[in-house]
Structure formats: C-alpha cells, structure tokens
C-alpha cells in the first residue's frame, strides 16, 4: 500500500480527533525516524517527550521481548515480580514513598485528584473540597483532567465539568493566595508548563506554594508527565528546585513508548487517602508494563542519561538563543534541560509542516511556540544538524 492509500484508509476508519501531518512513519533508529517511502527524519519531538531512549535501544527491546515470552498480564488481584521491581526503582528515583501504576498520564491525574479529595475527606469527615489549578495548564482530556486544565477552548463543549476547581495565575503567588479557602484540598500544577507554551515554574513561586500548602494542610500535586524522567536534567523537574510534592504524576518517558503512567505520593498522604476499594485498574502495573519501566530506569543508569542531558542541554540552549538573536520573527527562547520553546511570530504550524519537508520533526506548544523535546540521547552533532534543517525551514517559510 502506498503512503497516500494508508492516509486515505486511516481517514476513513479512525475517528477524526487529530489533524495529522501527511506522514506515515514506519521505523526508527537512534534519533531518526523513517517513513513508508524510506525518507529519514531527525526527531526532535520524541513522540511528544515519550521516546527518551530514542529508537532501537537493544537492552530495552530485549527486556520487552523476554517479558512477552514469559507473562503479559495477571490483573491486580495478584502480585507480579516485574512491577514490584519497577516500583522500587521508580520510588528510589522520585524520593517518594508509594506508587500506583496507570495506563496513561491522564489516568495518573485522575488518581491524583481522587487521592487529594480522599485525604481531605479522611481529615475533615466530609466531602465538598476544592482544587486550585493553573491557567494555561494542560493535564489531559478525560472529564476530570479537563476540569483542572486551564484552557476554556478544551473545556467548553464538555461542560458541566467537575465542580470545585479554581484557577490561579502560574508564577503569581498572590493569585494562588487569593483562591485559597478552608475548602481547598490541593494545589495542582505542572512543574514546567508544556502545552501552555514551555513555562518553567519560578523558584520563588514554587517555594511559596509549598509554604502555603504546609501552612494550610493543602496537598501540593506536581504534574511531571512531560517534564519528568530526566528531561530537565534531574530525574524529576521539582528536584531542580528542592520543592518536594505530596503527590506527583508521571507518564510519557516512564515507559519510553509502552503506554504507562503513575501517580506517586508520600507516606503521609498514603496513610490517609486511597484505601482498598477506592481506586483500581485492570491493566495498570501488569508484568509487561513493569518490565518496560524497569528497563527504562536501568538504561537511564547505564547510559548516564542525567549527566548526558546536563551536557547537551546548555549547547541546545546556546544554539536556540543564537537563533533568537538572528531572526526578528523569533522573540524569545525559554525552557529547561531538553524541554525548550521558541516563541515565533510566523505561524508555528506552518513551520512544523515545512520542517517535515526538510527532514526535521518538531512540534508546537500553544499558538506561537515551536517545541523541542527530543530523545534524551541526542548529541551535540544532532543539535547542529537540527539547526541546519530548521534554518532551511525558516528560509522556506519567510
């Protein structure tokens, strides 16, 4: 079947909830992807910050193959060894105490919300608590996750959503203070806003929110679904600030392509929140997922991913800064580690489309940001090649 035939078939059969690029990807190797016509692309999107190890990491794929031949699924009515090993590694990396494996980041957010509400219910003996979330945030597309996503465009068709959610301004502590009442049970935010435009939390803001939570017995929930798993140079972005959450969500690179998420919590929260019967999942934490997560942590250690990110990220930042100096249609560069954004006054969707013609995969964030979330194994040479292809794209667009 030819490329256009694949596309036509997909458009006839799949629910049209994505405006996909006219590209049928076939296989990957290292930090490159190849389409069904054999064309090569340098990947600076990593499946939206998922494929941290790139493509074809042998130790990772062999671990998956071995588990396929052993046992895929048991349900959570029984224990299994791979997920126990994965939990040990994830908790050690996160400095948290308890973990619940989900199938996605959205489900991790749902679990975090439930845990916070149950904690407050146990403490106060009644329901009716509220959550403070951030404007321009993104936490997922289920009804609960949409309820705490600060973007009316995503929410309006699906109202009424979950009640008891207020929105504050990210990086504005006074805005958060103004929303706190005796009903507030949690403050939820991305440590680095992703879809909203690549905005890292300011240190004073995050420290201030942590202090507010401590003063009022409010739980701090940090969404590390996109910014976690080494992307900012620490295993989790909050570790750059030294501000530990009470609950944390994670997904994307946690499985490096296998669909898995998780929410973590401290023992204090675990003791007073979700109990048997409060939450569950059929697939979450099955042996296959456990093997994948375990292999990811093993590869992060073996390849010294964090050290590598801290070596390559400043080089990428320097090159993006130079682009802002060079082109008047680029007005800002922001981000942390290998999670970067260029603010662009020409249509970013057009830039991303044109980049594909030049063999470069980049994506967007918000309405005016080019987003760079490459595999964490990229090299400085890959950065140089990306800049060449991006500048050719700018020339084509301008």
Pick the last residue of a domain from 271, 302, 333. Answer: 302
Q: Taking all residues of the chain, what is their mean pLDDT, rounded to a whole number?
A: 97
Pick the last residue of a domain from 284, 302, 320. Answer: 302
41: three-class secondary structure by DSSP: strand
Question: Are 20 and 66 members of one domain?
Answer: no
The candidate with the shortest Cα–Cα distance to 176, out of 132, 135, 219, 238, is: 132
DSSP at 135: B
Question: Are 37 and 80 members of one domain?
Answer: no
Pick the last residue of a domain from 302, 317, 342. Answer: 302
The candidate with the shortest Cα–Cα distance to 255, out of 300, 312, 313, is: 300
- 190 with 12: CB under 8 angstroms? no
Q: What is the pLDDT of residues 270-329, one digit of tens each?
A: 999 999 999 999 999 999 999 999 999 999 999 999 999 999 999 999 999 999 999 999
> CA-based Rg of the chain, rounded to a whole angstrom?
21
What CA–CA distance (Å, rounded) separates 11 from 14? 6
Q: Token pair 């990306």 is at which residue?
A: 386
Question: Are 216 and 343 members of one domain?
Answer: no
Name the band, by pLDDT with cuts 50, 70 and 90, for residue 397: confident
Q: Percent of the chain, pLDDT > 90?
A: 98
**Residue 372: pLDDT over 90:** yes
Q: What is the pLDDT of residues 314-333, one digit of tens each?
A: 999 999 999 999 999 999 99
Cα 135 to Cα 113, 121, 340: the distances in Å are 17, 26, 20
Question: Are 34 and 122 members of one domain?
Answer: no
- At 300 the pLDDT is 98
DSSP at 43: E
What CA–CA distance (Å, rounded) separates 350 from 364? 10
Question: Are 35 and 168 members of one domain?
Answer: no
What CA–CA distance (Å, rounded) separates 238 from 228? 8
Mean pLDDT (whole number) for 31-58: 97
Question: Are 212 and 290 members of one domain?
Answer: yes
Cα 15 to Cα 1, 9, 10, 11, 221: the distances in Å are 21, 12, 9, 8, 33
Question: Are 97 and 195 members of one domain?
Answer: yes
DSSP at 168: E
Q: How many structural domains is the chain composed of?
A: 2
Give bridge partners of residue 197 from the DSSP assignment. none
Distance in angstroms between the alpha carbons of the first and the last residue of the chain: 35
| Residue 114 parent element (H or E) | helix 105-124
Cα 339 to Cα 50, 173, 198, 251, 369: the distances in Å are 12, 24, 7, 15, 12
H helical segments located in 259-358: 267-271, 287-302, 305-326, 348-357
90: three-class secondary structure by DSSP: helix
Q: What is the pLDDT of residues 331-367, one digit of tens each?
A: 999 999 999 999 999 999 999 999 999 999 999 998 9
C-alpha angle 294/295/300, rounded to 5°? 100
Name the band, by pLDDT with cuts 50, 70 and 90, for residue 220: very high
- 35 with 41: CB under 8 angstroms? yes
What CA–CA distance (Å, rounded) separates 194 from 198? 5
Question: Are 46 and 71 members of one domain?
Answer: no
CATH number of the domain at 329, please.
3.90.1150.10
pTM for the whole structure: 0.97
Q: What is the pLDDT of residues 122-146, one digit of tens each?
A: 999 999 999 999 999 999 999 999 9
CATH number of the domain at 122, please.
3.40.640.10
Pairing of strands 40-43, 360-361: parallel
Mean pLDDT (whole number) for 380-397: 96
- 224 with 237: CB under 8 angstroms? yes
Question: Are 205 and 282 members of one domain?
Answer: yes
For 67-168, strand residue ranges (E) read: 98-102, 130-134, 165-168
- At 374 the pLDDT is 98
Question: Are 336 and 220 members of one domain?
Answer: no
Q: What is the pLDDT of residues 67-110, one digit of tens each?
A: 999 999 999 999 999 999 999 999 999 999 999 999 999 999 99
Name the band, by pLDDT with cuts 50, 70 and 90, for residue 1: confident
Tell how many helices (H) and how many strands (E) occur in the chain.
14, 17
- At 398 the pLDDT is 74
Cα 28 to Cα 64, 133, 258, 297: the distances in Å are 17, 37, 15, 21
Question: Are 169 and 273 members of one domain?
Answer: yes
Domain containing 121 equals 59-302
Question: Are 31 and 72 members of one domain?
Answer: no
């Amino acid at each position: 079947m030819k490329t256009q035939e694949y596309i036509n078939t997909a458009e006839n059969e799949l629910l049209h909830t994505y405006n996909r690029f006219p590209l049928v990807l076939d296989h990957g190797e290292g930090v490159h992807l190849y389409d069904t016509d054999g064309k090569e692309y340098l990947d600076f999107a990593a499946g939206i910050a998922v494929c941290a190890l790139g493509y074809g990491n042998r130790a990772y794929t062999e671990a998956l193959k071995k588990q396929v031949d052993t046992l895929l699924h048991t349900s959570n009515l029984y224990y299994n060894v791979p997920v126990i090993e994965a939990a040990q590694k994830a908790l050690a990396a996160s400095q948290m105490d308890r973990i619940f494996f989900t199938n996605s980041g959205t489900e991790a957010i749902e679990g975090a919300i439930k845990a916070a509400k149950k904690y407050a219910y146990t403490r106060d003996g009644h329901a009716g608590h509220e959550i403070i979330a951030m404007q321009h945030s993104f936490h997922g597309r289920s009804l609960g996750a949409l309820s705490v996503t600060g973007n009316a465009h995503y929410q309006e068709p699906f109202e009424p959503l979950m009640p008891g959610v207020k929105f504050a301004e990210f990086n504005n502590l006074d805005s958060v203070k103004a929303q706190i009442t005796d009903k507030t049970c949690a403050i939820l935010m991305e440590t680095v806003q992703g879809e909203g435009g690549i905005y890292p939390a300011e240190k004073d803001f995050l420290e201030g929110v942590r202090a507010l939570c401590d003063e009022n017995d409010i739980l701090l929930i940090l969404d590390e679904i996109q910014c976690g798993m080494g992307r900012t140079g620490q295993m989790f972005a909050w570790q750059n600030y030294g501000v530990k959450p009470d609950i944390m969500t994670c997904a994307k690179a946690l499985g490096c392509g296998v669909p898995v998420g998780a929410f973590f919590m401290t023992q204090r929260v675990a003791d007073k929140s979700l109990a048997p019967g409060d939450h569950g999942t059929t697939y979450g934490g099955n042996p296959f997922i456990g093997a994948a997560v375990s292999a990811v942590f093993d590869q992060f250690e073996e390849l010294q991913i964090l050290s590598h990110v801290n070596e390559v990220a400043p080089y990428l930042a320097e090159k993006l800064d130079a682009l802002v100096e060079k082109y008047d249609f680029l007005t800002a560069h922001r981000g942390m580690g290998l999670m970067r954004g260029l603010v662009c006054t020409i249509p970013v969707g057009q830039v991303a489309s044109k980049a594909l013609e030049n063999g470069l995969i980049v994506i967007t964030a918000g309405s005016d940001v080019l987003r760079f979330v490459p595999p964490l194994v990229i090299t400085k040479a890959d950065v140089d090649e990306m800049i060449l292809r991006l500048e050719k794209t700018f020339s084509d667009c301008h």
